[in-house]
Amino acid sequence: MPTKRIRLIEIAHARSGDKGDAGNVGVIAREERYYPILVQQLTADAVKQHFEGICFGPVDRYELPNLGALNFILHNTLGGGGTVSLKNDAQGKTLSSAILRMEIDIDEALLSA
Amino acid sequence: MNKTIRIASGQGFWGDLIDAPYHQVTRGPVDYVMMDFLAEVTMSIMQKQKLRNPELGYARDLPGQLSRMLPHIVEKNIKVITNGGGVNPLACRDAIFREAEKQGIKGLKIGVVVGDDILENIDALLAQGIELRNMESGEAFSSIRDRIVSANVYFGAFPIVEALRQGAQIIITGRTTDTGLTLAPMIHEFGWAADDWDKLAAGTVAGHILECGGQSSGGNFLGDWKSVPDLAHIGFPIAEAHPDGTVYITKHENTGGLVSEATVKEQLLYEIGDPTEYITPDCIADFTSIRLQQDGENRVRVYDVKGRPLTPFYKVSASYHDGYSAIGTLTYAWPDALEKAQAADGILRTRLSDLGLEFEEIRSEFVGHNSCFGPLAYVPKEINEVVLRIGVRGKNKDHVARFGQELAPLILTGPPSVTGFAGGRPKPSDVIAYWPALMPKTAVTPQVIVEEN
């Protein structure tokens, strides 16, 4: 089946925030049929690799099939966390946008369904 | 029992839209308004304010906000529940009583929940063998004991339920969980048992949806932000709660914003960890059980939520002094905006190093280029302007102050086309760090005080 390389933002949306020095990134499939793609391609390793140079700790992944969503915890990511961090985005609010830049492979048929 | 209650979100953080709770009580029917003011570090800011003035230490917006709401909530018998009491809920109550008296309102019952502030009892608790070890890093509390600024236990919904039972119309708490503010009226109105875990979890999930104000009714919505109508007049979310635990999230008619499955999903995923165990003092909610269904325009049904028994621990949120930091900015314009900003950063770092200044961290970001995306940022062909944002953090206040003096000289002694230094020298500010811990629930008891003016 022919596949197409797309940015995650085409099939998902997201929200992120802080939990101490960790960032939380929730990724939500725009359509139910895209959720299996997220499960398959957004592995903890793939997300860790995407955030190289931003996330300096492990990445935990949790599945919420009921919401068609994944939740990621990016440890050691916010420069010490909320009040300590010198980062402009000390609360990790834009990690949501950053994850949506990930490139993934998707069946063309699924995309146009 | 067909009774339903409408719980309105009036405030998502200290600094949120001032008029939002007023609009919630005037633009349509509600029974309760919950107002969340407390983030992890808010208590430390309030503790500092209380040190300077023993009459302060609460959300100072609150008495003014309630003053305007008072005639409406008295007339319509709307109850207001808030954790804006911070570290001085009794002083907050007195300020609200003064506002009531100014308006000639008598017989107003205000309930206060205290006992969460353990700053004064820390030594006694430690002596009892309660370790207050950092629950994330495992570090011993002794490493921060002499630098502690605030320490509070997170109470749940039940002290508020007791205040409601005693007839309080306004309930002011200190560090109560955000979700407890919404769960409490459901327990009170529907007579839910303290071990009816599914229902407590349902109310907790409703609380999580309401606790960030407009963030579940179209604010900060990444799904399709351009589709959200009239954010200028955003209606904050309202939970229409049913006795079986089903909740409908909606908002007042003729307000802006959007309540959809997608906006609610984004909020459900906000700042959670393991979704199967969302732990509160009242229960453990399983976010993987939540079902959502669009039920008409700006109306989403939330149902089938499952819960599990509570844990024997309260979470403690402490804060401590951890050195000083300062952050400054300079703006560089085309041509070579990014290269100039990078060169200026290099020059400044050399000067700081030559001076022998010591910092735990120096961080440089280039706003307009990479402050959000770091190494993920694309390098564009040309960039019109870029802001060098450089900050330092360290234990030595003099070193941090000297950094502040080294920034402005770059204007006349660094790369050209530089501006944006209107704010003056960046001054050292206290770094307050956060210390999460657990303690047995048996070690502290919430107290409920209900008084009438």
Which of B424-430's residues contact partners 24+ apart within 8 Å by CB, and which partners?
B425/B328, B426/B326, B426/B327, B426/B328, B427/B326, B427/B401, B428/B324, B428/B325, B428/B326, B428/B397, B428/B400, B428/B401, B428/B404, B429/B324, B429/B325, B429/B326, B430/B321, B430/B324
Band of residue B2 on the pLDDT scale cut at 50, 70, 90: low
Residue B272 C-alpha, separation from nearest chain A C-alpha, in angstroms: 7
Interatomic CA distance for residues A72 and A27, integer angstroms: 8
Buried b or exposed e, range B268-289, using 16+ CB within 10 angstroms: bbbbbbebbebbbbbbbbbbbb
- In this structure, is residue B442 part of a structural domain? no
Q: Tell me the pairing of strands B5-11 and B32-35.
A: parallel
- Look at A65 and B275 and tell me if their CB atoms are within 8 Å: no
**Residue B204 to chain A, least CA–CA distance (Å):** 17
> Looking at residue A83, what is its pLDDT?
84
Q: Name the residue in chain B with its Cα closest to that of A18.
A: B271
Q: Are residues B165 and B300 in the same domain?
A: yes
Task: For residue B285, give the 3-state DSSP assignment.
Answer: strand
Name the domain boundary from B311, B332, B365: B311
Six-digit token string for B308: 């599990």
Confidence of residue B39 (pLDDT cuts 50, 70, 90): confident
CB atoms within 10 A of CB A36: 13
Give the residue numbers spanning the domain of B166. 5-116+154-311
Domain count, chain A: 1
**pLDDT of B423:** 78
**Optimal mutation site among B217, B264, B269, interface A, most CBs of chain A within 10 A:** B269
Assigned token pair, B122: 């820390």
Are residues B285 and B345 located together in one domain of the fold?
no
B276 and B396 both lie in a single domain: no
Q: Is residue B187 part of a domain?
A: yes
pLDDT band at A111 (very low <50, low <70, confident <90, very high): confident
For residue range B78-113, list pLDDT tens digits in order.
999 999 999 999 999 999 999 999 999 999 999 999
What are the pLDDT digits (tens) for A35-52?
999 999 999 999 999 999
* Residue of B288, B325, B391 lying closest to A64 (CB–CB): B288
Mean of per-residue pLDDT scores for chain B: 96
Q: How far is CA B307 from the centre of its chain?
A: 24
Using alpha carbons, select from B247, B312, B303, B307 the residue that is nearest to residue B283.
B307
Residues in chain A: 113
The tokens for B184 are 């409490």
Examine residue B84 and state whether it is found in any structural domain, yes or no. Answer: yes
CA distance A45 to chain B (A): 17
| Cβ atoms within 10 Å of A2's Cβ, excluding its own | 6
If asked whether residues B307 and B323 sit together in one domain, one would say: no
Q: Is residue B446 part of a domain?
A: no
Residues A28, B265: C-beta atoms closer than 8 Å: yes
CA-only gyration radius of chain B, Å: 24
Contact A67 B290 (CB under 8 A): yes
Residue A112 falls within a domain, yes or no?
no
A89: in domain = yes
pLDDT (0 to 100) of residue B399: 98
Counting one residue from A and one from B, how many pairs have CB atoms under 8 Å apart? 129
Is B388 part of any domain? yes
Of A13, A53, A83, the CB nearest to B434: A83
> Residue A87 corresponds to which tokens in the numbers above?
């980062």
Residue with tokens 């960890």: B273
Q: Which domain does A38 fall in, by range?
A: 3-107
Contact B270 A87 (CB under 8 A): no
B48 φ/ψ angles, rounded to the nearest 5 degrees = -65, -40
CA distance B169 to B107: 10
Q: How far apart are the first and last CA of chain A?
A: 14
Q: How far is B434 from chain A (nearest CA, A)?
A: 8
On whether both B86 and B198 belong to a single domain, the answer is yes
Between CA B132 and CA B326 the distance in angstroms is 30
State how far the Cα of B105 lies from the Cα of B127, in Å rounded to an integer: 47
Tell me if the bond preceding B409 is cis, omega within 30° of 0: no
The answer to whether the CB atoms of B363 and A14 lie below 8 A apart is no
Residue with tokens 């492990």: A58
Closest-CA distance of chain B to residue A105, Å: 19
Nearest CA in chain B to A93: B372
When CB atoms are compared, the residue of A52, A64, A97 closest to B275 is A64
* pTM exceeding the 0.95 threshold for the entire prediction: yes
Task: Count CB-CB contacts under 10 A for residue B29.
Answer: 12
Which of B220, B269, B322 is the closest to A69 by Cβ?
A: B269
CA distance B395 to chain A (A): 12
Question: Is B298:B248 a contact under the CB 8 Å cutoff?
Answer: no
Mean pLDDT of B233-246: 98
CATH number for the domain that contains residue A22 = 3.30.70
- Number of domains chain B contains: 2
Asked whether residue A49 is domain-assigned, the answer is: yes
The label of the residue with tokens 């040309």 reads: B382
> Which of residues B283, B311, B339 is at a domain's end?
B311
pLDDT (tens digit per residue) in B170-225? 999 999 999 999 999 999 999 999 999 999 999 999 999 999 999 999 999 999 99
Distance CA B40, CA A83 (A): 9
Same domain, B283 and B352: no
- The string of pLDDT tens digits covering residues B320-367 is 999 999 999 999 999 999 999 999 999 999 999 999 999 999 999 999
Same domain, B294 and B373: no
Q: Could you say which of B274, B291, B372 has the minimum Cβ distance to residue A94?
A: B372
Give the Cα separation of B287 and B305 in Å (integer).
7
Residue B127 in any domain: the answer is no
CA A33 to chain centre: 18
What pLDDT sits at residue B1?
Answer: 52
Looking at the DSSP assignment, which residues form a beta bridge with residue A4? Answer: A106
Measured CA distances, B396 to A2, B392, B402 (Å): 60, 11, 10
Q: Return the amino acid letter for B11.
A: Q
Contact B361 A79 (CB under 8 A): yes
B223 and B267 belong to one structural domain: yes
| Percent of chain B predicted with pLDDT > 70 | 100
Residues B307 and B337 in one domain: no
**A83:B363 CB<8 A:** no
Burial class (CB in 10 A: 0-12, 13-18, 19+), B388: buried
Distance CA B234, CA B225 (A): 13
Which of B222, B306, B327, B365 to probe by mutation at the A interface, max A CB count within 10 Å?
Answer: B222
Q: Which two tokens stand for residue B197?
A: 């875990």
Burial class (CB in 10 A: 0-12, 13-18, 19+), A64: buried
Residues from chain B that touch A17, judged by Cβ atoms under 8 A, are: 270-271
**What's the mean pLDDT in A75-103?**
95
The span from the first CA to the last CA of chain B, in angstroms, equals: 34
Q: Are B184 and B75 within one domain?
A: yes
B264: left (phi over 0), alpha (psi -120 to 50) or beta: alpha
Q: What is the CA radius of gyration of chain A?
A: 14
Between these two residues, B36 and B48, which has the higher pLDDT value?
A: B36
- Cα–Cα distance between B148 and B242 in angstroms, integer? 43
If asked whether residues B295 and B325 sit together in one domain, one would say no
Q: Give the pLDDT of residue B380.
A: 83
Average pLDDT value for residue range A64-86: 95
Please indicate, yes or no, whether residues B353 and B392 belong to a single structural domain of this protein. Answer: yes
Residue B260, classed as helix, strand or coil, is coil
End position of a domain, from candidates B311, B328, B363: B311
Residue with tokens 């002290």: B159
Q: Which two tokens stand for residue B64?
A: 């003014």
Residues B450 and B166: beta-carbon distance below 8 Å:
yes
Smallest CA-to-CA distance from B435 within B130, B174, B134, B177 is with B134
Reduced to 3 states, what is the DSSP secondary structure of residue B382?
A: coil
Q: Is residue B445 part of a domain?
A: no
Kindly report the nearest CA distance between residue A3 and chain B, in angstroms.
24
Q: What sign does the dihedral B182-B185-B190-B196 (CA atoms) show?
A: positive
In a domain, B47, yes or no: yes
CA–CA gap between residue A78 and residue A88 (Å, rounded):
10
Q: In B173-184, which positions are buried (b, 16+ CB within 10 angstroms) versus exposed (e)?
A: bbbbbbbbbbbb
B308 pLDDT exceeds 90? yes
